[in-house]
Amino acid sequence: MAPPQNQLNLNNSVLALLERCIHLNHLKQLQAFLITLGHAQTHFYAFKLLRFCTLALSNLSYARFIFDHVESPNVYLYTAMITAYASHSDHTSALLLYRNMVRRRRPWPNHFIYPHVLKSCTQVVGPGSARMVHCQVLRSGFEQYPVVQTALLDAYLRFWSDVESARLLFDEMTERNVVSWTAMISGYTRLGQIGNAVLLFEEMPERDVPSWNALIAGYTQNGLFMEALSLFRRMIAVEAGAWGQGNRPNQVTAVCSLSACGHTGMLRLGKWIHGYVYRNGLGLDSFVSNALVDMYGKCGCLKEARRVFDRTLERSLTSWNSMINCLALHGQSQNAISVFEEMMTCGSGVKPDEVTFIGLLNACTHGGLVEKGWLYFELMTQNYGIEPQIEHYGCLVDLLGRAGQFEEAMEVVRGMRIEPDEVIWGSLLNGCKIHGHTDLAEFSIKKLIDMDPNNGGYGIMLANIYGELGKWDEVRKVRKVLKEQNAHKTPGCSWIEIDNQVHQFYSVDKTHPRTEEIYNTLESLISLY
């Protein structure tokens, strides 16, 4: 039965007034107007006021005030309030309100509430509580709703890493949409199961941009950069087709692809993506600008990296870190330090984090700036209260080792609050090789062998050290052990970009399809000298 005309007129008036509200006082005036008309407990108006308060004004405290003054809030009011809490990362309040709703047994939660509750459970309480929510979903009969199934699928993958249960749930879904397919693909990539992710991607009946991005990002995060770029090219080809208009790359696609370009040194493709972003109006926001700075920096185009950085209007901490780290990577120590000093003086209150100091310590290492390195290490711990991570210790040990200050380096190692890893001992070994400190080099290599006994490279280095010391019996023992263990040495690798394609070459590798031509050219070059 349709509401009377007077009621419709009032509804329209209230909605029109809401659109004209621009701050909380306007909302309060409208609320007072409704109370005088006797609508203090009318769910429709309470819902509209609450939603406007959370969405337009982002005022959760007053939204909760409205909610608490409704004597018997319905399921839509609960849904609006819980959704608002979850959207603003106030997961504790979302869970407490949900618990209150369940204990009252009226109204019973609907299927729109469960995705937000599942997210809040895993953020605040842990996986066990989310499994309890799963049981409540089953009891309430909402387990067949796609939005609930997708939320459960995401919870199993993202927070419990339970890919078997997630796949079982996925296979039992009565209605799989592109979101559920993408959630499953993302789960596989997060757990490193790229093969399963690819198989699922190829089975998808339809794809959207997030599904392409999920696999491109998965490739990149798992170090499969060439595969990521190949999929990006495929996406571009699909987008160019008549049936691919819904698959146009977005900013996330560009960022993931630029990251892959930076790791493989594919500067030409990286420039093409930069142009694609510009031509298609994707916008050079901080997200894309940071990726461009990182890509140009890793490819050695520091002028272009600086040009993009200077054109970034809103520089986040990530922006500054990207510029500092790419300068440090290429040994421009003073420039990296200058960017840090610029950040501290005109960075609009941006404070350095652990990534900033990794860049600074790297810069000091490449520039041999021992005193500066100590200064930044102490600044990080004492002024900013940042707990040193293994990367910070590695940089400091490398800095001291390159400077020949081995006693100070060992003091750092002994004073570490975390167990030294291969990077620490490798950094110390590098300094020993530079300064011919054979005793400490032998000690470092033995530590490395204990950590990775199957790495033949460490054994070969130890044999070489013994050879330099004239300990030939020890050399024979090491080589015998290497042979018995069938230890392998990771071959050296180099690559070159030709016609927008990267060719990789490993030491003593003859798997390249043009190997014979390459070796003939190499022999002809050698014969010239």
pLDDT per residue over 224-266, tens digit each?
A: 999 999 999 999 887 665 444 557 889 999 999 999 999 988 8
Q: Domain check: are 496 and 527 in the same one?
A: yes
The predicted pLDDT at position 494 comes to 65
**Other beta carbons less than 10 A from residue 3's beta carbon:** 11
Q: Domain check: are 464 and 514 in the same one?
A: no
How many domains are there within the chain? Answer: 2
With cut-offs at 50, 70 and 90, classify the pLDDT of residue 518.
confident
Sign of torsion, CA 160 162 167 172? negative
Q: Give the separation between CA 245 and CA 222, rounded to whole angstroms.
A: 29
Give me the chain's average pLDDT, please: 85
Q: Give the separation between CA 273 and CA 469, rounded to whole angstroms.
A: 53
Q: Is 448 among the domain residues?
A: yes
Q: Domain check: are 469 and 498 in the same one?
A: no
CA 10 to chain centre: 49
The predicted pLDDT at position 244 comes to 47
Q: Domain check: are 405 and 486 in the same one?
A: yes
Q: Give every CB contact of residue 526 below 8 A, 6+ residues apart in sequence.
A: none
pLDDT higher than 80, residue 503: no
E strand or H helix at 492? none
Which residue, 184, 187, 189, is CA-closest to 204?
Answer: 184
Residue 32 backbone zone (phi > 0: left; psi -120 to 50: alpha; other: beta) = alpha
Q: Domain check: are 484 and 419 in the same one?
A: yes
> CA torsion, points 267, 272, 275, 281, in degrees to nearest 10?
-120
Residue 126 backbone zone (phi > 0: left; psi -120 to 50: alpha; other: beta) = left
Residue 421 backbone zone (phi > 0: left; psi -120 to 50: alpha; other: beta) = beta
Q: Is 80 among the domain residues?
A: no
Range of the domain at 451: 401-490
Q: Is 166 among the domain residues?
A: no
Q: Domain check: are 408 and 477 in the same one?
A: yes
Q: Is 467 among the domain residues?
A: yes
Q: Domain check: are 483 and 496 in the same one?
A: no
Which residue, 234, 187, 226, is CA-closest to 207?
Answer: 234
Q: Domain check: are 483 and 521 in the same one?
A: no
Separation in Å, CA 151 to CA 101, 113, 146, 163, 181? 20, 11, 9, 14, 12
State the CATH number of the domain containing residue 447: 1.25.40.10
The predicted pLDDT at position 229 comes to 93
Q: Domain check: are 451 and 434 in the same one?
A: yes
Contact 295, 270 (CB under 8 A): yes
pTM for the predicted model, two decimal places = 0.75
Q: Is 449 among the domain residues?
A: yes
Lowest mean pLDDT among 32-46, 250-264, 427-441: 427-441
The predicted pLDDT at position 497 comes to 63
With cut-offs at 50, 70 and 90, classify the pLDDT of residue 324.
very high
Q: Is 413 among the domain residues?
A: yes
Q: Domain check: are 413 and 485 in the same one?
A: yes
Q: Domain check: are 443 and 524 in the same one?
A: no
Q: Domain check: are 447 and 514 in the same one?
A: no
Q: Is 8 among the domain residues?
A: no
The predicted pLDDT at position 236 comes to 87
Q: Is 40 among the domain residues?
A: no
| Beta partners for residue 455, in sequence order | 488
Mean pLDDT of 347-364: 90
